[in-house]
């Protein structure tokens, strides 16, 4: 019996896709930067089926590309063009296995949509704090495998800090049951950390125990106009001091981002009464302080006095707050109609954010005069989405041909400023060889040794994350 017949026998016709037109959505990513081919898309409905599929792939030395919601921005979930890999989709594994109210945890299958997991926690009177733009389609297994971040990292941490235990199918088909909800366990290596951020190169996450948090009773948002980027960092410090560290999100938004959203996304208007070059969206949350609006107004008042705030709007309703958050989430998509965008997901120390933006903008103007910097992101953790957009009137391909040169400038500057070339999107295909420029030989050697130890035949998501020799 050939490989595909054996795999289909395990997962059944509902879990097997081989026709090219039916596989199309699995073979490309939304930016259209990466496209590949596959033998088939295999969708198991249980951990045991995943184990059996992986065991056959190990026996036949068939490469596996694990795929969640396929929202990767670095080509991490897309196969190469040889057509000799299978895509292993976790979409049919989407159950909540167990609820632990006392412990504040959920045990969930890896294929659970993030938004559904958030709603489950909400229904139980809790919250799950991972908030990202793709939450309506991304899956928790993919979030774990890329150590996703989002807008609330400043207060709750990224995905790594939300996971207590994992279940993982290893490259030989063995099942590691690390589903523990213990908050303290010092019995050796914390093995789950190998797979959080591992991008499917060491094994396939099939289930996880994640933390739930008490749902804040009160939240207050404000959009604040600031004189410059340095003021955004000052506003963060002021808000944390005066609120007793109740800041749960603070997002940097440039003028061009608002213009792009209001131009290309229906039913959006500039929320500010005047045009300002820079804004921040700041959120306070609390279960104890009811008058968050009064607290926000106190922060704004001091900011006005100190000259770090020029103007502000404070929404009166939840609907108005949600509209402001929607504006922020639409920034990524609103860039696409404007042509080529050379995107970067970097982080630098918070104190160096303003310096980075100024130096990067200056350096790139020498390479691409009149390029449009779309720079936004998470001030509270130093994560910037630094996206040079093609100049008006420039040919798109001519602009994109400068991708490597632009990226080298941005990444070199990031590294010089003790930052990271990937803050939350991962490495995937796009950045794997960049690591050789910015990680030490010792670090890369350790990564390769771990990969070789767990996946000696190299069948788990080959060609991703680990730099080429």
Q: Which residues contact 377 (CB under 8 A, 6 or more apart)?
A: 251, 252, 383, 384, 385, 386
The tens place of each residue's pLDDT in the chain, 469 residues long, gives: 599 999 999 999 999 999 989 999 999 987 778 999 999 999 999 999 999 999 999 999 999 999 999 988 899 999 999 999 999 999 999 999 999 999 999 999 999 999 999 999 999 999 999 998 889 999 999 999 999 998 999 999 999 999 999 999 999 999 999 999 999 999 999 999 999 999 999 999 999 999 999 999 899 999 999 999 999 999 999 999 999 889 999 999 999 999 999 999 999 999 999 999 999 999 999 987 778 999 999 999 999 999 999 999 999 898 999 999 999 999 999 999 999 999 999 999 999 999 999 999 999 999 999 999 999 999 999 999 999 999 999 999 999 999 999 999 999 999 999 999 999 889 999 999 999 999 999 999 999 999 999 999 999 999 999 999 8
pLDDT at 46 (0 to 100): 98
Looking at residue 193, the DSSP 8-state letter turns out to be H
pLDDT at 24 (0 to 100): 93
pLDDT at 6 (0 to 100): 96
Q: Which residues contact 435 (CB under 8 A, 6 or more apart)?
A: 427, 444, 467
CA dihedral sign of residues 126, 129, 131, 134? negative
Looking at residue 366, the DSSP 8-state letter turns out to be H
Nearest Cα residue to 358 out of 274, 420, 417: 417
**Rg of the chain taking only CA atoms, in angstroms:** 23
Give the CA distances from residue 132 to residues 136, 160, 222, in Å, rounded to whole numbers and listed in that order. Answer: 9, 15, 19
Cα separation, 435 vs 349, whole angstroms: 19
Cα separation, 87 vs 85, whole angstroms: 7
DSSP letters for 219-266: EEEEEEEESSHHHHHHHHHHHHHHHTS-EEEEEEEEHHHHHHHHHHST
Please, what is the Cα angle at 162 between 156 and 163, to 5 degrees? 165
pLDDT at 1 (0 to 100): 57
pLDDT at 33 (0 to 100): 81
Task: Tell me the whole-structure pTM to 2 decimals.
Answer: 0.91
């Amino acid at each position: 019996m050939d490989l595909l017949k054996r795999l289909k026998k395990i997962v059944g016709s509902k879990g097997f896709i081989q026709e090219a037109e039916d596989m199309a959505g699995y073979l490309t990513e939304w930016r259209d930067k990466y496209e590949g081919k596959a033998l088939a898309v295999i969708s198991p409905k249980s951990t045991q089926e995943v184990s059996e599929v992986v065991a056959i792939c190990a026996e036949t030395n068939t490469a596996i590309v694990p795929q969640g919601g396929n929202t990767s921005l670095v080509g991490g979930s897309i196969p190469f063009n040889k057509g000799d890999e299978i895509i292993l989709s976790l979409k049919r594994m989407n159950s909540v296995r167990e609820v632990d109210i006392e412990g504040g945890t959920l045990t969930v299958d890896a294929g659970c949509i993030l938004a559904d997991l958030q709603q489950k926690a909400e229904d139980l009177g809790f919250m799950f704090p991972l908030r990202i733009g793709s939450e309506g389609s991304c899956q928790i297994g993919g979030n774990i495998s890329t150590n996703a971040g989002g807008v609330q990292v400043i207060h709750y941490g990224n995905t790594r800090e939300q996971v207590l235990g994992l279940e993982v199918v290893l490259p030989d088909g063995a099942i590691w049951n690390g589903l523990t909800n213990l908050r303290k366990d010092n019995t050796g290596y914390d093995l789950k950390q190998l797979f959080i951020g591992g991008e499917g190169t060491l094994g396939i996450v099939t289930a996880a125990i994640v933390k739930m948090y008490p749902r804040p009773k009160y939240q207050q948002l404000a959009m604040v106009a600031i004189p410059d980027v340095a003021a955004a960092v000052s506003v963060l410090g002021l808000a944390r001091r005066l609120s007793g560290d109740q800041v749960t999100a603070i997002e940097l938004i440039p003028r061009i981002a608002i213009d792009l959203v209001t131009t290309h996304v229906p039913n959006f208007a500039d929320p500010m009464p005047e045009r300002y070059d820079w804004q921040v969206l700041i959120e306070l949350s609390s279960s104890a302080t009811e008058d968050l609006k009064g607290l926000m107004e106190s922060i704004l008042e001091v900011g006005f006095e100190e000259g770090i705030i020029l103007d502000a709007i404070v929404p009166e309703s939840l609907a108005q707050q949600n509209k402001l958050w929607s504006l922020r989430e639409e920034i990524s998509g609103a860039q696409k109609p404007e042509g080529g965008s050379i995107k970067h997901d970097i982080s630098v120390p918070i104190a160096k954010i303003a310096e980075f933006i100024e130096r990067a903008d200056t350096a790139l103007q020498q390479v691409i005069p009149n390029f449009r910097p779309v720079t936004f992101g998470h001030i509270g953790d130093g994560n910037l989405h630094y996206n040079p957009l093609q100049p008006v009137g420039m040919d798109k391909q001519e602009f994109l041909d400068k991708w490597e040169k632009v990226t080298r400038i941005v990444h070199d500057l990031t590294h010089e400023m003790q930052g990271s070339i990937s803050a939350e999107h991962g490495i995937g295909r796009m950045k794997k060889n960049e690591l050789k420029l910015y990680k030490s030989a010792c670090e890369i050697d350790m990564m390769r040794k771990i990969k070789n130890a767990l996946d000696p035949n190299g069948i788990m998501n080959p060609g991703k994350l680990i730099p080429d020799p």
